[in-house]
Amino acid sequence: MSIIDRFLHPPAPHVEPVGTAAAARLAAIHASAFPRPWGTLDFERMLGERGIVADGLFLGRAKKPSGFVLSRIVLDEAEIITVAIAPEARGKGHARILLTPHLDALSRRGVARVHLEVEEGNGPAIALYRRAGFRETRRRAGYYHKADGTKASALTMALDL
């Protein structure tokens, strides 16, 4: 491929494992996505834990991820702890591109079942998980206390790999 071709055709979005060096960027994305953000130190600590699997989504030639997903493995089960895409990159199918190889990575590490919890009103996240094959297992009414003082229900979902 020529230099001009490379310029005209940037690499397709790709997914790679991320480690503690990405902690500040993950904290920034998390802060843009959730009302109670985790700091850089929280991410450094988590990314250093045994059993944590973290993947980042990289767009074009960017060195920093535009999204990430973080799971914790315990024996042959895993929990997706958080997934977020930077606001400017949402609504373009990126979360799906990110989740598919992440689930493959969990499967390769011997995970048979994946769990997660999501706010009932979070349409994009629920659509993402359903599309990946997750099914609702429980509903916890009024589980989340929102910043505006209201409560929201949680859905727990699971997928057998």
Answer yes or no whether residue 94 interacts with ligand COA by CB under 6 A: yes
Answer yes or no whether residue 156 interacts with ligand COA by CB under 6 A: no
C-alpha 44: how far from chain center: 16
Please enumerate in sequence order all residues whose Cβ is within 8 A of that of 127, keeping only pairs 6 or more positions apart, or say none: none
Answer yes or no whether residue 91 interacts with ligand COA by CB under 6 A: yes
Query: What Cα–Cα distance (Å) separates residue 92 from each residue in 50, 68, 89, 98, 153?
Result: 32, 15, 7, 12, 27
Distance CA 127, CA 26 (A): 23
What character string, x for contact with ligand COA (CB under 6 A) and - otherwise, covers 18-47?
A: ---------------x--------------
User: Binding ligand COA by CB under 6 A: which of 93, 110, 133, 142?
Assistant: 93
User: For residues 22 and 118, which CB has a smaller minimum distance to ligand COA in the complex?
Assistant: 118
Angle between helices 94-108 and 123-131 (to 10 degrees): 50
Nearest to 53 by CA among 127, 13, 108: 108
Specify the amino acid at residue 63: K
Only one of the segments 10-18, 106-114, 118-126, 144-152 lies at the binding site for ligand COA (rule: CB under 6 A); that segment is: 118-126
User: Binding ligand COA by CB under 6 A: which of 45, 64, 72, 90?
Assistant: 90
C-alpha 124: how far from chain center: 12
Answer yes or no whether residue 110 interacts with ligand COA by CB under 6 A: no
User: For residues 6 and 34, which CB has a smaller minimum distance to ligand COA in the complex?
Assistant: 34
Answer yes or no whether residue 128 interacts with ligand COA by CB under 6 A: yes
- Interface residues with ligand COA (CB under 6 A) are 33, 83-85, 90-96, 118, 122-125, 127-128, 131
